[in-house]
């Protein structure tokens, strides 16, 4: 069987399972997305604060920086803009910072560097795929505790002797369920064992919560008890790339040995300049964070009223659980036809039989439009009997 025939066979299986994916080109205008010439309120964006799509903010950004670094960081790819960004980010986050090409680069690189075959790594069952890939590349022993079940984590850690090399990794806000780990309790459990390495991915938290948008760890006052913080920048931070916050020795080790840093062209200097510009805005965006909180409460309460699903632990990410792949896709399609840009999330992104329509809330969404969306959802939910 040649490659094309094999690919066709694989695609046929995906179509039959309802898990084939296709991208859709869009034009963005603030909280609105134009898809196939239809203007829809965009519930599928991670631009939580509305900074990336704010035309006024973009108009005020000016830089003479190069459009390409044209080299890896350790060759001739470290420009003044990269150093300025890392200095600015370290003052903001209160720890040394290394910038990397993406959240994926950071998770895969950091975990494959800091864990090894002598390490047992515990992760929440629902952590991002990039975390799992980084652990697999490290050769470490991967064990997963039940989602947000910190008592289960404590039981697992208690099986280790003081000399065992152990790492614990979690997201602070989970990307598909939208709930948040009790990070203060998580730290309390892990710091019982002084040699445990702790890593927290704040992808969906930085910019959104905490003093000056520094994330859940800063909000809970536990940053100093976490070895490595990772902040992908493509969401509320309105850019691309990632910050890795750690100690100076760990930063130096990552620079010398992390393959996703060593063997990848550096981010364009102009992108680093934009990230610094956006970071300054994010750090002063309490008004946007307040508006986001109001919108997420409005939408979460409405979803609970319509579907009966408990949204009390949801953040600015709110899933509508449907179950079957085809039903989730059908609900998303019907909502899109009514002017709402929503996406069905199906396996393997989420576990089997937990397909959903995932809603991302934005600070700049009009309140009236959220009410209209909830009215449309109520009619569809009743018609489809998707409960």
CA-to-CA distance for 180 and 166, rounded, in angstroms? 23
The reply to whether 224 and 328 lie within a common domain is no
Task: Quote the Cα angle for 373-27-208, to 5°.
Answer: 60
- Rounded to 5 degrees, what are φ and ψ at 222? -120, 10
**8 CB contacts (<8 Å, ≥6 apart)?**
none
- 339-342's contacts with Cβ under 8 Å and 24+ in sequence apart are 339/38, 339/39, 339/40, 339/41, 340/40, 340/41, 340/43, 340/373, 340/376, 341/26, 341/33, 341/35, 341/40, 341/41, 341/42, 341/43, 341/44, 342/43, 342/44
**pLDDT at residue 216 in the model:** 98
- Give which of 100, 157, 107, 166 is closest to 137, Cα–Cα: 107
Orientation of helix 80-93 relative to helix 269-283, angle to 10°: 20
**pLDDT at residue 119 in the model:** 97
The reply to whether 33 and 97 lie within a common domain is no
- Give which of 67, 45, 77, 90 is closest to 231, Cα–Cα: 90
**pLDDT at residue 129 in the model:** 95
Q: Are 150 and 124 in contact (CB under 8 A)?
A: no
The reply to whether 272 and 328 lie within a common domain is no
**pLDDT at residue 383 in the model:** 73
Reduced to 3 states (helix: H, G, I; strand: E, B; else coil), residue 141 is: strand
CA-to-CA distance for 120 and 73, rounded, in angstroms? 31
Residue 9 within a domain: no
The reply to whether 207 and 222 lie within a common domain is yes
DSSP letter assigned to residue 316: S
CA distances from 179 to 132, 138, 192, 265 (A): 19, 28, 25, 35
- Per-residue pLDDT 10s for the chain (387 aa) are 899 999 999 999 999 888 888 888 999 999 999 998 999 999 999 999 999 999 999 999 999 999 999 999 999 999 999 999 999 999 999 999 999 999 999 999 999 999 999 999 999 999 999 999 999 999 999 999 999 999 999 999 999 998 899 999 999 999 999 999 999 999 999 999 988 999 999 999 999 999 999 999 999 999 999 999 999 999 999 999 999 999 999 999 999 999 999 999 999 999 999 999 999 999 999 999 999 999 999 999 999 999 999 999 999 999 999 999 999 999 999 999 999 999 999 999 999 999 999 999 999 999 999 999 999 999 999 875 554
- pTM of the predicted model, to two decimals? 0.94
**pLDDT at residue 387 in the model:** 47
The residue out of 283, 315, 330 marking a domain boundary is 283
**190 CB contacts (<8 Å, ≥6 apart)?**
157, 168, 196, 198, 225
- CB count, 10 Å around CB of 254? 22
For position 230, which CATH number holds? 3.40.640.10
DSSP letter assigned to residue 76: I
The residue out of 249, 266, 283 marking a domain boundary is 283
In the chain, the number of structural domains is 2
**pLDDT at residue 17 in the model:** 86
Residue 4 within a domain: no
Peptide bond into 164 cis (omega under 30): no
Q: Residue 147: is it exposed, middle or buried by C-beta count within 10 angstroms (0-12/13-18/19+)?
A: middle
CA distances from 123 to 131, 198, 258, 260 (A): 9, 10, 21, 21
Q: How many residues does the chain have?
A: 387
Active site residues: 46, 128, 171, 175, 201, 204, 235
Residue 15 within a domain: no
The reply to whether 247 and 295 lie within a common domain is no
The reply to whether 44 and 70 lie within a common domain is no
The reply to whether 84 and 123 lie within a common domain is yes
The reply to whether 126 and 40 lie within a common domain is no
**pLDDT at residue 384 in the model:** 54
- Rounded to 5 degrees, what are φ and ψ at 145? -95, 160
Residue 98 within a domain: yes
DSSP letter assigned to residue 266: P
Task: Quote the Cα angle for 67-131-212, to 5°.
Answer: 60
Given phi > 0 = left and psi -120 to 50 = alpha, else beta, which region is 256?
A: alpha
DSSP labels, 320-336: EEEESHHHHHHHHHHHH
Domain residues for the domain of 171 are 64-283
The reply to whether 98 and 191 lie within a common domain is yes
Residue 309 within a domain: yes
The reply to whether 44 and 87 lie within a common domain is no
Structure tokens at 359: 């809603």
CA-to-CA distance for 253 and 264, rounded, in angstroms? 17
**pLDDT at residue 385 in the model:** 52
The reply to whether 168 and 192 lie within a common domain is yes
């Amino acid at each position: 069987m040649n490659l094309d025939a094999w690919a066709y066979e694989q695609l046929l299986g995906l179509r039959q399972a309802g898990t084939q994916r296709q991208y859709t080109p869009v034009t963005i205008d603030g909280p609105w997305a134009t898809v196939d010439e239809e203007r829809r309120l965009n519930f599928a964006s991670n631009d939580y604060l509305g900074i990336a799509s704010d035309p006024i903010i973009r108009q005020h950004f000016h830089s003479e920086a190069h459009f390409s670094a044209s080299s890896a960081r350790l060759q001739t790819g470290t420009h003044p803009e990269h150093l300025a960004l890392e200095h600015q980010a370290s003052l903001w986050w209160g720890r040394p910072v290394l910038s990397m090409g993406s959240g994926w680069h950071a998770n895969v690189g950091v975990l494959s560097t800091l864990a090894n075959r002598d390490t047992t790594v515990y992760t929440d069952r629902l952590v991002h795929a990039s975390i799992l890939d980084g652990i697999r590349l490290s050769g470490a022993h991967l064990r997963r505790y039940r989602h947000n079940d910190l008592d289960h984590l404590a039981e697992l850690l208690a099986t280790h002797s003081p000399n065992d090399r152990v790492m614990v990794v979690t997201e602070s806000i989970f990307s598909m369920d939208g709930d948040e780990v009790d990070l203060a309790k998580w730290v309390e459990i892990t710091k019982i064992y002084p040699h445990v390495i702790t890593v927290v991915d704040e992808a969906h938290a930085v910019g959104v919560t905490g003093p000056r948008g520094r994330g859940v760890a800063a909000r809970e006052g536990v940053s100093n008890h976490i070895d490595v913080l990772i902040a992908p920048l493509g969401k509320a931070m309105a850019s691309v790339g990632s910050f890795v916050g750690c100690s100076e020795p760990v930063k130096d080790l990552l620079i010398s040995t992390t393959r996703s840093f060593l063997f990848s062209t550096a981010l364009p200097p102009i992108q680093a300049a934009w990230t610094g510009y956006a970071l300054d805005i994010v750090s002063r965006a309490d008004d946007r964070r307040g508006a986001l909180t109001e919108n997420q409460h409005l939408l979460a309460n409405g979803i609970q009223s319509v579907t009966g699903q408990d949204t009390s632990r949801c953040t600015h990410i709110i899933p509508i659980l449907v179950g079957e792949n085809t039903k989730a896709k059908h609900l998303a399609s019907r909502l899109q036809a009514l002017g709402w840009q929503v996406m069905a999330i199906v396996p393997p992104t989420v576990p089997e039989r937990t397909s959903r329509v995932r809603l991302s809330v934005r600070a700049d969404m009009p309140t009236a439009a959220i009410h209209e969306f909830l009215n449309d959802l109520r009619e569809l939910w009743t018609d489809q009997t998707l409960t």
